[in-house]
Structures are given as C-alpha cells and as structure tokens.
Structure 1
Amino acid sequence: MAIQTLHYGRVAWTNIEHITPEDMQVLRESYPHFHPLDLEDLQSRIERPKLDEYDDYLFVVMHFPLWDPVQRVSRASEVDMFVGSGYLVTVSDGSLKPLRHMFEQCDASPEMREQLLGRGGSKTFYAVIDRLVDYIFPILYKVDANIRELEEEIFTEDSRHIIQDLSFIRRDILALRRIIRPQILLLENLEKVDRPFIREELDVYFGDIQDHLVKGADIVEEHLEIINGLSDTANTLVTYRLNEVMRILTVISVLMLPLTLVSGIYGMNVDLPFQRTELSFEIVIGLMFMIATGMLAYFRHRGWL
C-alpha cells in the first residue's frame, strides 16, 4: 500500500500516492463518515476542481501544473483532500514534489511535524495548499523567460522555428490558465464561509492564497497578451518575407517573358533578320541583354526594386 500517516497529538495527516483498492478499504474503515461518492472520486482519472461540504468535513479537489518535457506543456496534477477536526487526508499520484517533500520533511523532523500539525488539521490543510500554490510561480517565471528569449529571436531568419516555439508557448499558457482560474473561486469559498472544523483566523490566510492565485492568473493573462502580440509580429514578418520572395520571383518571371519570346522567334524555321550573318548569335544575345537591362532600369525607376 502507498498509504502513510503522521501523528502529532490528536492530529493525523494521511498521505496516499497512487491509491489502490486496499488503500480505499483502509479509508473506509478509518473514516466511515466519508461519503461513498467522494471515495469514488479518488479513483477517477481526473476531476474538475471542486469543494464538497459536509457537516464534519470538507472534500476538496484541486489541480496544480506539472511540466511535461516531452509534449512541452503543463499538465494538471490532481490533489484530493479531506479535512476535518484533527485530521487531513491527501491523495495524489505522487508527481507533485512540494507535497511529497513536505510530507517527508514532517516525517523526518519532529520540529517540522510540531510546527505543521501542532495547530490542527485545518492549519495543515492551509500549509499544504500554500506550498502547492507557491510551486506555481517558478513555472510562470520559466514561461516568462521563454517569452523574453523568443522576443530576442523573433527577428531572425528562422521563421519556422519561431512560429513553432510560439505555438508551444501559447499552448502552455492556455493550459496554465485552464488549471489556475477555476481554483480562485474555490479559495474564495474557503476564505468567506465559516466552518466549525476550520480555525477562524485562517480566513485571512486563505485570502492570502487567493491573492496569490489571482496574481498567478494575471501573470498568465499578461503572458497570453504578449504571446498574441508576438504571434502577430511573427505573422507580419513572415508575410513580409514571403512578399519579398514573391516580388523577386515576379521580376524574374517578367524578365524571362520577352527573352523567351525572342528566343522562340529565332527558333522558328523561317527567314529572320541577322539570321544569315556570322554574328547572329551574338546579336540576338545582345538584344536580349539590352531588353533585360532596360526592364531592370525601368523597374528601379518605378521603385519596384
């Protein structure tokens, strides 16, 4: 089983990674008042962030970003939490390092265990959420660094590379927005609604976490606005470069039209001027050169080149 429990006084923190049917049975026996639907949600692949309130406990589902280096996008990692008077139960897939490290520190350090569990399960609940929310900001700062790097490279010639990176970053920003925004209302509920098994003084602390989430959401929106502006700039540059290429190709095509006409005429099996002279080839080539030079001079005079 992947179930572990820490105790300090009358407070218990149970942490479960990769929950199994055996773990589910332990939870049913240890906490018979947990609603069967909440226990069923623990085994679902992914639940939307939510808060289910009962008379003597809360069931909270939250999502936090986890970077996928293969797909180059942030994935939502789910944490399910039961909090009541004197206990906290956290269930996850073990991928969130802050939660795992926090539990390991409490297990290894009696001082840390006293500090975290000594003020009740609701204080532990707050501390876990606070640590996980703080974990969001290094990811956001990394996105900001990627955007700044892209700003410096956007005027290079490798348009394909720039557009690909823009697409990856935009997808990551949209994923972060989808993860962060639903949690704000959840934290607002924790701040404003009084519950007998959550200490009243924690209202201010939950409000502080909500402010952090709002700040994170604002950063994401700012990133999205910047990346959209960079996308417009990149599209403008690509269009400009494409127009430049098309202009050169058009000039070449226009130049070739009269030259093709002259060569086609002198390729016919009829009597033509200069056909009988010894320098007929040089004369025809010179004529074609004069036509091409005249057309280039005209294009430059009109400002087309």
Structure 2
Amino acid sequence: MLIRKRSTRKFMPTSLSNASEKLGMPPGSLIHVGDIQEEDSRISVIDFNRTELQEPVVETVEELLKFREKDSITWVCLEGLKNVEITELIGHYFKIHPLVLEDILNTHQRPKFEEHDDYLYIVLKGLSLDRDAASVNGSFAVYHEQISILVLNDFVFTFKEKKDDLFLPLVQRIRNGNARVRNLGTDYLTYAILDMIVDQNFLLLDSLDENIDAVEEELLSNPNSNTLVAIQRIKRELIDIRRSITPLRELLSSVQRSDTKLIGEKSQIYFRDVYDHVLRITETTDSYREMLSGLLDIYVSSVSNKMNEIMKILTVFASIFIPLTFIAGIYGMNFEYMPELKWKWSYPVIWVVFVTVPICLILFFKKKKWL
C-alpha cells in the first residue's frame, strides 16, 4: 500500500466545489468538482495472480506501466481527487476518453454503466454513516461519496473522494492465497468491489433502524418539536439514500445485458447477487419511508390529541364559571330596588349557590363521560 504525495507538476490544479462553476467550459475539461477537498492523494497498488502477490510502492503514474507486461491483475486505488494531474496521467497512459475522466472528477454523477472498446466505466455512490455529524447534532446523518471504477483487461482502477478503509476487507481477502478473487479475472474483482460498496448500505440501514426505533419510543412517550425535527431529518436522509440506491438496479441490469468480453459468463451470477442485494436495500428503504410517514401521522395525531385535552379542560372550567359569572353579573347591577339585596342571609346563600353549581356541573360532566 502506498501513500503518494501530491505531484509537483500541475496541469490542471483547479478544484471547484460547485458544479455550476464549471458552466461554459469545453467538454472534457479536467476540473475537480466536489465538496471533499483532500489535499494529498493516496494511491494503493495491489498486483496479484494465483501464486504471487505484490503491493509495490510507486512514486509516479509511469511506474504502473511495468505491470502491463506481467501476467497478473493490477488493482490501482486512487483516494483523493483534488490533484487532477494523477487522473489525467492515468487517462493518458491507459487511453481513457477525456469525457470519462471528466465524469470521474465531477463527483455529482448519477450512478451509471458505460461500455467502451477497451474498458468499462462504472460510477456509483458509496454511502456510510457520518459519525462526526451524528456526534455533533445527535441525529442520523449519511455521508455520500462518489466511487468510479475503470475495468480494463488486466487493470482495475478505483477513484474515491476520500481516504478511508472501505476496501480493507477486500484487500485482506486478496492477501489470502486461497481466495477466489486470486483465481479469477478483473470481472470478479469488479464484482467484489461493487459488492463491498453495496453491502455498506446494510450497515447504514441497521443504524437507520435504530434511529427510527428511538424516535418511535420518544413519539409514544413524550412527543415534542424535537421529535418532529428528527423525523423530518431522517426522512430527508432516506430520500437521499433512495436516490443513490435506485439507479443501481439499472446499472446492474446493464452490466448483465452487456456482451463485453471484459465480463465473462461465469461472473454474471455474481453480478446478479449484487442486484439482489440492491433490491433488498430498495425494499427496505421503501418500508422505512412508509414507517416514517406513519410516525409523522402519529405525531400529528398526538399533538392534536394533546391540544384537544387542553381545550377540553379549558372548556370545562369555562362551563363551570359561566353560571357563576352570570349570577355575579346580575347582583353587580346598580339598581336600587332589588329584593335580595336587603335579605339578611343573602351573602351566605349566594356562596352556597356558588359552591353547589360547580359541583352539580362536574357530576353532570362525569355522568356524560366528558371528564
């Protein structure tokens, strides 16, 4: 495994964070467009066949050319796309079309599969739990990363936006001499990479399920405005997840329909397995979306019920004091000739009335089951 520092040669050093800033540039302009700005790029190289495995340290892209002469499979993983020169050199030496290189560097692509004469281009979104954002605001947050794959006869290139350990389990499998990936071609390695990316979504959905359960418990015990914010935030993240996952069905269907020689018939069954995983993930996200819609309805009902309880209590108090206010209003009038005003027991009697009326009203409300 190699950590390659940023090259001193700078053909296209420009990096944009917004795709709209690229408007007006000619097609094939190699400009990095993305939110992730890794200052240093890291290249990892693994060269293997059935009997041998090498993880050489290379200093320049030109050193990759020597692996063309070997009867082996070479997996080159570039992490960090801000240094445009590395991608440009790979495209130059391996005859990659400039529009494909442009799509690799523009990280706002829709998942797709493209067939070319000597290579295949696959782009998809890698999703993972953004633990930093979750620790800050205590909510569910998803990290989106574009991953591009170039499949050649003896080479597989992967282009990632950030440096992480996503492919570490696959690397460990390759290091195992008895692993199936050591005995098959670049098509199986491509399947293994896709499977690793897609299966990350299961971990994401497990975390999503835990967050939905927590929101549901809070909703049933003590719903408040924060509960509504949590539901809306999870719902928005779920929409983004579905937007990234749904196109994978079309992508994998295109792979299975392809008649390219770079994907053998024996590997088609493995791509169908990834397709099944995508279907499961899509169905799970749909069920979670329906669940969140149900939770939102429950929240609205809970708020309405709470408001109804408050209004019922206020209505009861108003109903009790209406007759008392009526009596007090009558005897508050400034008429001179009112017979009750001269009675000796008027004051005690009026208090008896004030006490008796509320008691009778409360008993009446309970009999009607309004309380």
1:98 is aligned, of 166, 171, 174, to 166
Q: Which residue of 2 aligns with 1:124?
A: 189
The runs of 5 or more residues in structure 2 that have no matched partner are: 1-5, 7-40, 49-70
Q: How does 1:1-305 map to 2 (within 5 A)?
A: 1=6, 2-4=41-43, 5-8=45-48, 9-19=71-81, 20-31=83-94, 33-68=95-130, 69=134, 70=137, 72-94=140-162, 97-99=165-167, 101-102=168-169, 105=172, 110-111=175-176, 116=181, 119-271=184-336, 272-276=338-342, 280-305=346-371
Amino acid at match of 1:47: Q
SS for the counterpart of 2:335 is: coil
Inter-partner Cα distance in structure 1 for 2:269 and 2:176: 25
8 Å Cα contact 1:194-1:200 kept in structure 2: no
Contact 1:66–1:96 under 8 Å retained in 2: no
CA contact (8 A) 1:52 1:60 kept: yes
Deviation for aligned residue 1:67: 2.1
Structure 1 residue 115, shift from structure 2 partner: 5.6
Q: SS of the residue aligned with 2:246?
A: helix
Deviation of 1:228 (Å): 2.3
Shift of 1:182: 0.9
| CA distance in structure 1 between the aligned counterparts of 2:107 and 2:75, rounded to whole angstroms | 23
Distance 1:255-1:113 versus aligned 2 partners, 3 A rule: same
Q: Distance in 1 between matches of 2:141 and 2:182?
A: 35
TM-score when normalising by structure 2: 0.72
Q: Aligned residue for 2:35?
A: none
RMSD, aligned CA: 2.7
Separation (CA, whole Å) in 1 of partners of 2:79 and 2:295: 41
Give secondary structure in 1 for the equivalent of 2:123. strand
State the 1:285 CA deviation.
2.9
Q: Distance in 1 between matches of 2:102 and 2:177?
A: 32
Whole-angstrom distance in 2 between the partners of 1:46 and 1:113: 38
Identity of aligned residues (%): 26
- Using the TM superposition, give the Cα deviation of residue 136 of structure 1 relative to its aligned residue in structure 2, in angstroms: 1.1
Secondary structure at 2:221 match in 1 = coil
Aligned to 2:20: none
CA distance, structure 2, for counterparts of residue 225 and residue 180 of structure 1: 17
Structure number with the higher helix fraction is 1
TM-score, structure 1 normalization: 0.86
Which ranges of structure 1 fall in alignment gaps of 5 or more residues? none
After superposition, the Cα gap between the structure-2 partners of 1:155 and 1:215, relative to the gap in structure 1 and judged at 3 Å, is same
Letter in 2 for 1:42: I
Aligned counterparts of 1:231 and 1:50: Cα–Cα separation in 2:
34
Change (3 A) 1:95 1:218: farther
Q: Aligned partners of 2:333 and 2:177: how far apart in 1?
A: 98
Tell me if structure 2 keeps the 8 A contact 1:28–1:34: yes
Which structure has more relative contact order (CA 8 Å, sep 6+)? It is: 1
Query: Residue 17 of structure 1 aligns to which amino acid in structure 2?
Result: E
Task: Indicate how the Cα distance of structure 1 residues 249 and 146 shifts in structure 2: closer, same or farther if over 3 A, else same.
Answer: same
Contact 2:91 2:97 in 1 (8 A): no
Whether the 8 Å CA contact 2:128–2:200 is kept in 1: the answer is no
Q: Which amino acid in structure 2 is aligned with residue 298 of structure 1?
A: F
C-alpha deviation, 1:149, in angstroms: 4.0
- Which shows bigger deviation, 238-247 or 203-212? 238-247
